[in-house]
Chains A and B, each alone.
Chain A
């Protein structure tokens, strides 16, 4: 899942993460002298509860009424509210929690862990033996904001829409529906394929309240994919035609769209047709949610720390690193640290840097702490050392270390490894890019260059003014052809290794900028998808360890965390472990 930030910030962050990578010393949590020891809102691989029924468990002490204002610093928000088109942390976190229901959903349990529970379906779906056919029974008491019931036909039509990759080019359906659903490859979708009733796609069938989806390949994670709002209902016919539907989608959650100005503001008000009994996960405490996009970070920080009447009922989705100490000291529980299930990596070109010792030398020559500090991160808080690709808490993740302990900055060790690989006599040349428009990215690159040179490398850092992703992902780019070190930031779409390892390390994957391509590993990835469900998580974890210890094709530099700030009158300040956003479902305004 992508991070919805403006180009410059993403690119800067990308470089930093590219630069700012995993290893580093092992101070975790905050060690600020005036701050409380802070626990990470983590997620430990998602449990499931197929039996959960509405209404959702009441939040202790919650009161109704009030308006929650959410500031999103430096975040332009979603371009469209069409549930099928959404594939960003910002848009999905808001809509899935408040307006757009789907087959399944996550709730936060008492320990802060996400639990997958039913939503529009009565359970988490029933699969056949080899996960090639999934059946969901749609509940009969869910309603649209106009009072009409949500029907199985509408759910089927919504799912069918996700196959239209031309109408929704940036939707998550282009990745998952298109890959896994039977016959999806040949079906252009209801709009592009001129099939407004979705009659030409045979992969889905509706029988009473049952929706059955056939898969082209085994898809054991369908219940997780069902938590995306793209796997929800859409009104039949012209009512949901894109792009107009994206301005004011019909809501079926506890809130409905009152007004929406892209990149500026989204106002959600109570949907009086939503019935709490039909929904196992959502609440309807506040009267109104106001989302303010593209806010200035420094301004929002001042508002949130001032605790004035504006900020008491407000939430901010980010905190400037320079404010961390003040916030940590002043805010207590109202500053929430949430793992965003993202990893930052450096990817040495597997076809050019062929010796594993050189790749390990890079990992030892990378000054983790220094790059984080120079790049404006708080070491141990917004960036923590990483040991492998799978983020902490993901089901099956193993706590192993490639060399027995966490790799940290150690230029002597780097030199020794280079000597072992036969490059001891002269510096090993590294060519990489950095985003020169952002001074933080430039400062981060200077630290990397410094560290690499101390570790026995010679660095040619090419300044670019385009997003580094545009360089790394373009095979014809003349700069890209010269690089032997790249980087990627990747976040999981659901808590399974299948959304982390194959996109980064399978031969031919778009974001596999290391060009790592080992047939045996590729086969193993294909095999894991066919394993029994309960063995898959451990298999991904084992594969993660195997790839890292045997090949070390990718240098994880950091796991990323988000900081959320809640006003003093916002009840139940917490993060949503499934997506890296505030836990909108359970917020309320103290009266």
Chain B
């Protein structure tokens, strides 16, 4: 988590001029009259990998948002069944043959089978696990990038003592070992809130807070660097001379020019958080009520289950891999599209 989600060296720099082009060329004529965002979107649409990744990501978002309706369409739910009704305790706790794989044939009642030992429905847990994963990752990303952008803007633009102080905070948060902090926090949250009725929600909020607290520094550094180069540019100087208030310069002049690095850092932060959420759930901190891909993987990493019933591990694993991979590739594509120096 202390690693930057995106570094300036991989971004290209927006402050340098695009390389010289012949203004009369075909390409230049096409581009003229379009906003930089339009140009970028056009490039994205022509990028096959980006389109495929976007479709995959949209599929996961669809699953997450409509987890409830999809579950009821298939007639499955998160409800805990009596274990003995669905699994065979004398046969390694594997599902009964009539529940589907590995001992029986596919059945529409449980399209993705049921979990060994508990008999919970895999499809329902997969859908709601997707929702938890995306919900936590998205919220944490929003918080982390808002904080990161504001701190970066202030530090870069105001400079001087403010910059020194904010940079000190950035460095300080970078020194705190993330995993250790998360491990320490879990029992504290538990001790304080375990009798509350909405413990599950509090647990998720705490997870979002932890992820955000340790996720904003990369963005802040990136934005600070960009602002430092931008603030010396003529349009900013002009705005200053005209007596615009600082807030207006920050949000009306600088921010629009920072759209590219922000979008990029967000698109790379999302997959990081998805993977982290699952990782923490696997370690037994973070989400502990079982509705999380990480928790399903934890239950499935058992040599016997993997040998006899590998689907049980593959389902959440494929979910995480596909989601993280497409988010990453999509992030790369967005970066390429927004970078004026990239020509494909």
A residues near B (Cβ < 8 Å) are: 30-32, 298, 301-302, 320-326, 367, 369-380, 436-440, 442-443, 446-447, 449-451, 462-466, 478-479, 482
Q: Which of A32, A374, A380, A436 meets B83, CB within 8 Å?
A: A374
**Across the interface, do B80 and A446 meet the contact criterion of CB distance under 8 Å?**
yes
Interface residues of B in 114-135 (CB under 8 A from A): 117-118
C-alpha spacing A332/B80, complex, angstroms: 36
Residue of A nearest to B81 (CB): A450
Total CB contacts across the A-B interface at under 8 A: 102
With A373-B84, A436-B288, A439-B298 known as contacts, the answer to whether A30 contacts B190 (CB < 8 A) is no
A-B contact pairs, 24 of them (CB 8 A): A30-B90, A298-B302, A321-B92, A322-B93, A322-B302, A322-B303, A322-B305, A325-B91, A325-B92, A371-B83, A372-B89, A373-B89, A373-B93, A374-B118, A379-B90, A439-B295, A439-B298, A443-B118, A443-B299, A446-B80, A462-B194, A463-B190, A466-B187, A479-B195
**Across the interface, do B93 and A321 meet the contact criterion of CB distance under 8 Å?**
yes
C-alpha spacing A378/B92, complex, angstroms: 8
With A32-B90, A463-B288, A465-B190 known as contacts, the answer to whether A369 contacts B299 (CB < 8 A) is no
Residue of B nearest to A298 (CB): B303
**Across the interface, do B288 and A378 meet the contact criterion of CB distance under 8 Å?**
no
A437: which B residues are within 8 A, CB to CB? 284, 288
**Across the interface, do B290 and A442 meet the contact criterion of CB distance under 8 Å?**
yes
C-alpha spacing A439/B93, complex, angstroms: 15
With A373-B117, A379-B89 known as contacts, the answer to whether A450 contacts B304 (CB < 8 A) is no
How far is the CB of A122 from the nearest CB of chain B, in Å?
A: 49
Residue of A nearest to B188 (CB): A465
C-alpha spacing A443/B298, complex, angstroms: 13
**Across the interface, do A324 and B83 meet the contact criterion of CB distance under 8 Å?**
no
How far is the CB of B117 from the nearest CB of chain A, in Å?
A: 5
B304: which A residues are within 8 A, CB to CB? 320, 322-323, 326
**Across the interface, do B194 and A479 meet the contact criterion of CB distance under 8 Å?**
yes
With A373-B117, A374-B118, A465-B187 known as contacts, the answer to whether A442 contacts B91 (CB < 8 A) is no
With A439-B290, A439-B298, A463-B288 known as contacts, the answer to whether A370 contacts B303 (CB < 8 A) is no
**Across the interface, do B83 and A370 meet the contact criterion of CB distance under 8 Å?**
yes
Q: Is B222 an interface residue (CB 8 A)?
A: no
B298: which A residues are within 8 A, CB to CB? 439
**Across the interface, do B195 and A482 meet the contact criterion of CB distance under 8 Å?**
yes
C-alpha spacing A32/B89, complex, angstroms: 10
B90: which A residues are within 8 A, CB to CB? 30-32, 325, 378-380
B87: which A residues are within 8 A, CB to CB? 373
C-alpha spacing A482/B194, complex, angstroms: 12
- Most-contacted residue by chain A among B81, B87, B117, B186 (CB, 10 A): B117
**Across the interface, do A451 and B82 meet the contact criterion of CB distance under 8 Å?**
yes
A443: which B residues are within 8 A, CB to CB? 117-118, 290, 299
B92: which A residues are within 8 A, CB to CB? 321-325
C-alpha spacing A31/B191, complex, angstroms: 43
Q: Which of B84, B186, B195 meets A370, CB within 8 Å?
A: B84
Residue of A nearest to B281 (CB): A439
How far is the CB of A21 from the nearest CB of chain B, in Å?
A: 15
Q: Which of B187, B199, B303 meets A302, CB within 8 Å?
A: B303
**Across the interface, do A439 and B83 meet the contact criterion of CB distance under 8 Å?**
no
Residue of B nearest to A24 (CB): B84
Q: Which of B117, B288, B289, B302 meets A374, CB within 8 Å?
A: B117
B186: which A residues are within 8 A, CB to CB? 465
A447: which B residues are within 8 A, CB to CB? 80, 82-83, 118
- Most-contacted residue by chain B among A302, A373, A375 (CB, 10 A): A373
How far is the CB of A29 from the nearest CB of chain B, in Å?
A: 11
C-alpha spacing A443/B296, complex, angstroms: 12
Q: Which of B117, B190, B288 meets A376, CB within 8 Å?
A: B117
A482: which B residues are within 8 A, CB to CB? 195
Residue of A nearest to B305 (CB): A322
With A322-B302, A325-B92, A443-B290 known as contacts, the answer to whether A369 contacts B84 (CB < 8 A) is yes
Q: Which of B89, B118, B289 meets A378, CB within 8 Å?
A: B89
**Across the interface, do A369 and B89 meet the contact criterion of CB distance under 8 Å?**
yes
C-alpha spacing A439/B82, complex, angstroms: 17
**Across the interface, do A442 and B117 meet the contact criterion of CB distance under 8 Å?**
no
Residue of A nearest to B82 (CB): A370
**Across the interface, do B199 and A463 meet the contact criterion of CB distance under 8 Å?**
yes
A465: which B residues are within 8 A, CB to CB? 186-187, 190-191
C-alpha spacing A482/B299, complex, angstroms: 31
C-alpha spacing A32/B87, complex, angstroms: 14
C-alpha spacing A85/B307, complex, angstroms: 43
User: Which 5 pairs show the lowest CB-CB distances between chains A and B?
Assistant: A322-B304, A373-B89, A370-B83, A373-B83, A446-B80
B118: which A residues are within 8 A, CB to CB? 374, 443, 446-447
